[in-house]
Amino acid sequence: MRIVELTTETKNNILEDLLKRSPNQYTQYEAVVSEIVNAVKEQGDSAVFSYTKKFDGWDINSENIRVTDEEIKAAYKEVDEQFIQTLKDAAENIFAFHQKQLRESWIITKEDGSILGQKITPIESVGAYAPGGKAFYPSSVLMNIIPAKVAGVNKIVLATPAGKDGKVHPVTLVAADIAGADEIYKIGGAQAIAAMAFGTKSVSKVDKITGPGNIFVALAKKACFGYVGIDSIAGPSEILVIADETANPRYVAADLLSQAEHDELASAILITTSRTLAEEVSKEVDDFCEILSRSEIIRKSLDNYGYILVADTLESAIDAANDIASEHLEIMTKDPYNVMTKIKNAGAIFIGEYSSEPLGDYFAGPNHILPTNGTARFFSPLNVDDFTKKTSIISYSKEALDKVHDEIAYFAEQEKLTAHANSIQVRFEK
């Protein structure tokens, strides 16, 4: 990996470089995605079937688009019992963590008869997206569906592409069943997002869509936002490690590569106060690349967006980490908890040398669907709040309104909204 000194210039260059990976930069695909979304909106099933045949290579129709109970039962027979138990254990951890996020509605009353409150209601229906086809990501299935289930969503729909044989990977089906999906559709890409956003004869319309996907999925979510809610527009995966001379270089290298293997646009950055550690990590990276199965992707990822930055002080390393606002942030320093208190911007923080990023990906319980491309400055991980709505409650007695009605009317008149003022004053006409 390239080793460079951390300066304001190098940091700004890296930030500019990383932003090139944002889905907002891939405008050349927007016309294609817009065409697909509009076709599904206007033509419904016929467009979904046509695009699925074109992109996924199998004959889909209204009879086979939805996964049946028999297919789910058959999937359990194809998945190793140990993996089924592991999925159940992970699901239990994820469920327990997200239950802690539940909020309650509340009401306050005053002696003058005024009542204020907030009512929290689950979203009625949610569509989760999981990448599929050649790949399968049961972890994403669990992370999407379980928070919605905890929130009390009435209908949870999963869309995931099938292979050319028209079958969804059995592990995906088992994970969806364990998580609690109500309907599973064998569709992917922009056409799947549009189908859930607008509804078709065969696909249920939902109120919100969540989940990661490729650039076409990301741009389709962006195009459908407003017709439905979305969680975020996810970009490529990223990891940033803050380390000092006490860190184990082999652990650091392994963790950097755990994200670099995702794809060629993934970012892996180490910021360290130790030049010796920087050189040792670089060597470990080279050694790992000789034996890891996805080394070709890893090398391209590191060539494009991999950096080892050597900082003069731990404070400057922390400042740079906050500016980059990485999706995953690992802290391997002598006093990691002290460093953690100074981190303002990160999707998820992993503290200590035994808190490797894949722990969060699969098993610990916090959600692994995280803000990317610096959006950790204003976005949060997927959570139970993403699947609920908050409604304000207001009730005033005549006595309570009488005390403030002139002030409210005056406020409205300052905005030249006389009908607003009249709506208040009419209740106190003599």
What does DSSP say about strands 115-122 and 106-109: parallel, antiparallel, or unpaired?
antiparallel
Listed residue (220, 225, 270, 219) closest to 249, CA to CA:
270
Q: Which residues of the chain have pLDDT under 70?
A: 23-25, 133-135
For residue 403, what are the contacts with CB-CB under 8 A and spacing of at least 6? 112
Separation of first and last alpha carbons in the chain: 81
**Residue owning tokens 């400042």:** 319
Contact 218, 233 (CB under 8 A): yes
Cα separation values, 44 from 40, 123, 207, Å: 5, 24, 17
pLDDT of residue 17: 83
Question: For 68, left (φ over 0), alpha (ψ -120 to 50), or beta?
Answer: beta
Rounded to whole angstroms, how far apart are CA atoms 69 and 74? 9
Q: Which of 262, 328, 368, 405 is catalytic?
A: 328
At 132 the pLDDT is 82
Predicted pLDDT at 213:
86
Helices then strands, each counted (H, E), the chain: 17, 14
- What's the mean pLDDT when you consider all of the chain? 94
**Catalytic hit among 280, 327, 353, 357:** 327
High-pLDDT (> 90) share of the chain, %: 87
Instruction: Give the length of the chain.
Output: 430
Supply the pLDDT for residue 236: 87
- pLDDT, position 234: 79
Spatial contact of 145 and 177, defined as CB atoms under 8 Å apart: no
Tokens 């304001």 identify what position?
8
Closest-CA residue to 151 (of 185, 199, 104, 117): 104
Is 328 an active-site residue?
A: yes
Q: Model's pTM, two decimal places? A: 0.91
